[in-house]
């Protein structure tokens, strides 16, 4: 599940929910739109979708500059690792997880 968010028909945010791994990924906000809560909105949407699908915990690999954002959103994790993309790119990251509240 890959999502694209637009403002005035301009794509400004992306996000993905990988159901096979309970993983949130590809969350990127266009630089001119950071600090407006758009990233938090799509993250909340992806978490709500995961909850609706019965997923109780999600994981993600936070880039080093985004780790504090995810911590403010309730994610935990401090150990630095290396993310290996399918295209061969290697990137420093912090694996993080968040327990989602059960829906009634």
Cα 13–chain centre separation: 11
Domain assignment present for residue 104? The answer is no
Confidence of residue 13 (pLDDT cuts 50, 70, 90): very high
Tally of residues, the chain: 104
The closest alpha carbon to 25, from 53, 71, 57, 60, belongs to: 60
Tell me whether residue 30 is in a domain.
yes
CB 42 within 8 A of CB 26: no
Range of the domain at 44: 2-99
The band of 101, judged by pLDDT with boundaries at 50, 70 and 90, is confident
Does residue 86 form part of some domain?
yes
29 is a domain residue: yes
Q: Is this prediction's pTM over 0.85?
A: yes
Q: Does residue 47 lie within any of the structural domains? A: yes
In a domain, 55, yes or no: yes
Between 103 and 67, the more confident residue is: 67
What residues contact 89, with CB distance under 8 A and at least 6 apart? 83
Read off the CATH number of the domain in which 95 is found: 3.40.630.30
Residue 65: inside a domain, yes or no? yes
Instruction: Tell me if 85 is assigned to some domain.
Output: yes
Percent of the chain at pLDDT above 70?
98
Task: Give the total number of structural domains in the chain.
Answer: 1
């Amino acid at each position: 599940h890959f999502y694209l968010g637009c403002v005035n028909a301009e794509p400004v945010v992306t996000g993905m929910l990988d159901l096979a791994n309970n993983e949130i990924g590809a969350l990127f906000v266009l630089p001119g739109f950071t600090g407006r809560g758009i990233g938090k909105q799509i993250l909340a949407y992806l978490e709500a979708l995961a909850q609706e699908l019965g997923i109780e915990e999600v994981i993600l690999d936070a880039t080093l500059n985004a780790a504090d954002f995810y911590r403010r959103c309730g994610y935990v994790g401090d150990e630095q690792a290396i993310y290996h993309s399918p295209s061969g790119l290697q990137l420093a990251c912090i694996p993080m997880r968040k327990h989602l509240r059960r829906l009634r």
